[in-house]
């Protein structure tokens, strides 16, 4: 019997010819990503054990991203510890404030993620990078300490769930709607400790930015990882950013899957996940126009340039509704700069939005849009658990950037198809940039 992409990757990185689900392997790591929240505790553990050097500084990427700029004394302390540790270790792949970004968006954007890699980070949405054919997964600070010291980590080989996307996206429907639909079908534990592998006739038509949104939310279904084959679209994305060589792993035709699912993408509508689980997805046609105090467009799920272009194309010439505030947070500094160059920031400002520097921000209840008691928010983030974006008495709805922009204008949950240009999926034409480089 053949192997899946994930099984081949873990076999290759653990020196084995083959592995099967349930086996424990010790795999070498190609990239470790560090941010200011989970890295300082890992470093403290190493120092307590008398370990003062990382295994290989060239395989580590560091950026502050959760509380940028520092929101209080504690976050300033964490950023300072991260900065001093990076200098002490001689880690060159470092992105300081002003050249920073949410790590899951920054690493692939800057050419650090290659097909065939094993990647870990002390953050659950590391699964994002599986869209480039990698085994990428989140870990805790204890495992992060072990990874930094040895360059290896143990894994139980996950079973693989195969999800085939069929057809093309209808008018007003986006990749966020695809993943919300999947999670609504299988539940928040439907892929528990599984690799969620994607394929099907609908995959080639999705841009890399759209694909990152889908693999980003694997953890919201309980997945260990999300992964897609490194097809031509993925390879061109990587080659536009780096000349480093890479290897491609593909699932065998006779690979075993724990389960298989077929999603008719062409039959989808815009989706909204109701409070307080990502699995509470409903078609927008099924919902009443719930009033929103806040709309949040950003995060590692939907803060890329394609997302901002879509939101801006709806907001252009419109105003945010009275009684609703709209916050836009680009995922990286480069996205912010490109949005500035293309005039998107002016569109957001003219519509009455506030635009932040790149940060995780309010996604985890950090800053730049924390909710108070009794407030409602429609967000393009990945989680709407109770208290996720602030008060435990607030309510969070999840949706695509298009639905978020339409909702900001209406002040209530609104169907983006009522606000979109009739020509189809809007992506504002970039000015003087490489279209493909930025995932159009």
Could you state, in order of their start, the residue ranges of all structural domains in the chain?
Answer: 5-247+254-264, 280-418
Average pLDDT over residues 188-193: 96
The DSSP string of 168-198 is -PPTT--HHHHHHHHHHHH-TTTTTTEEEEE
Long-range interactions of 386-391: CB distance < 8 A, separation 24+: 386/275, 386/276, 388/276, 388/363, 388/364, 389/296, 389/362, 389/363, 389/364, 389/365, 390/362, 390/365
What does the pLDDT read at residue 423?
Answer: 58
Residue 438's pLDDT band, with cuts at 50, 70 and 90, is very low
Range of lowest pLDDT (12-16, 34-38, 149-153, 419-423): 419-423
Average pLDDT over residues 159-172: 97
Average pLDDT over residues 282-286: 96
pLDDT at 434 over 50: no
Is the domain 5-247+254-264 a CATH 3.30.499.10 member? yes
Mean model confidence pLDDT for the chain? 95
Give pLDDT tens digits for 116-128: 999 999 999 999 9
pLDDT at 208 over 50: yes
Give pLDDT tens digits for 394-411: 999 999 999 999 999 999
Buried b (16+ CB within 10 A) or exposed e, 420-435: beeeebbbbebeeeee
Q: Considering the chain, what percentage of its residues have pLDDT values greater than 90?
A: 95
Measured distance CA(180)–CA(270) in Å, rounded: 9
pLDDT at 39 over 90: yes
Give pLDDT tens digits for 238-259: 999 999 999 999 999 999 999 9
pLDDT at 333 over 70: yes
What does the pLDDT read at residue 1?
Answer: 86
What does the pLDDT read at residue 76?
Answer: 96
**Using an 8 Å Cβ cutoff, are 74 and 45 in contact?**
no
pTM: 0.95
Average pLDDT over residues 297-314: 98
* Domain topology for 280-418: Aconitase; domain 3 (3.30.499)
Average pLDDT over residues 100-112: 98
pLDDT at 156 over 70: yes
Strands, sheet with 271-273, edge to edge from the N-terminal-most edge strand: 281-283, 271-273, 395-398, 376-379, 294-298, 325-329, 353-355
CA distances from 258 to 22, 129, 159, 303, 360 (A): 12, 22, 6, 32, 34
Fold match, 5-247+254-264 / 280-418: yes
What does the pLDDT read at residue 440?
Answer: 25
**Using an 8 Å Cβ cutoff, are 2 and 254 in contact?**
yes
């Amino acid at each position: 019997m053949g192997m899946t992409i994930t099984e081949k990757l873990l076999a290759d990185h653990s020196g084995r010819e083959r592995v099967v689900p349930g086996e424990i392997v010790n795999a070498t790591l190609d990239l470790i990503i560090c941010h200011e929240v989970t890295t300082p505790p890992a470093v403290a553990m190493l120092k307590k054990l008398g370990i003062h050097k990382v295994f290989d500084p060239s395989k580590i990427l560091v950026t502050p991203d959760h509380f940028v700029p520092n929101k209080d004394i504690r976050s300033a302390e964490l950023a300072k510890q991260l900065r001093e540790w990076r200098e002490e270790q001689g880690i060159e792949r470092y992105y300081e404030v002003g050249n920073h970004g949410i790590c899951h968006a920054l690493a692939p954007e800057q050419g650090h993620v290659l097909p065939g890699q094993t990647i870990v980070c002390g953050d659950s949405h590391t699964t994002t990078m599986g869209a480039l054919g990698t085994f990428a997964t989140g870990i805790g600070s204890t495992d992060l300490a072990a990874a930094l010291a040895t360059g290896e980590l143990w894994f139980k080989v996950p079973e693989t769930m195969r999800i085939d996307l069929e057809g093309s996206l209808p008018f007003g429907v986006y990749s966020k709607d695809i993943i919300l639909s999947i999670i609504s079908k299988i539940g928040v534990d439907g892929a528990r400790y599984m690799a969620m592998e994607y394929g099907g006739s609908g995959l080639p038509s999705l841009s890399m930015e759209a694909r990152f949104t889908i693999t980003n939310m694997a953890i919201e279904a309980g997945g260990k990882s999300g992964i897609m084959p490194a097809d031509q679209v993925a390879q061109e994305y990587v080659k536009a950013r780096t000349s480093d060589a890479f290897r491609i792993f593909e699932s065998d035709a006779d690979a075993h899957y724990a389960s298989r699912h077929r999603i008719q993408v062409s039959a989808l509508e815009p989706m909204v996940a109701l409070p307080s689980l990502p699995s509470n997805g409903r078609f927008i046609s099924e919902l009443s126009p719930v009033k929103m105090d806040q709309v949040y467009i950003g995060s590692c799920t939907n803060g890329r340039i394609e997302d901002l272009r879509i939101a801006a194309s709806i907001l252009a010439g419109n105003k945010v509704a009275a009684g609703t505030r709209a916050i836009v947070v680009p995922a990286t500094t480069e996205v912010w700069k490109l949005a500035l160059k293309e005039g998107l920031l002016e569109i957001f400002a003219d519509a009455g939005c506030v635009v932040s520097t790149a940060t995780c921000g309010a996604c985890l209840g950090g800053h730049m849009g924390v909710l108070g008691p009794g407030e409602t928010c429609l967000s393009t983030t990945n989680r709407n658990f109770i208290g996720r974006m602030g008060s435990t008495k607030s309510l969070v709805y999840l949706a695509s950037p298009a639905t978020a922009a339409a909702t900001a204008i209406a002040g209530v949950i609104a169907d983006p198809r009522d606000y979109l240009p009739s020509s189809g999926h809007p992506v504002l034409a970039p000015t003087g940039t490489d279209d493909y480089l930025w995932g159009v």
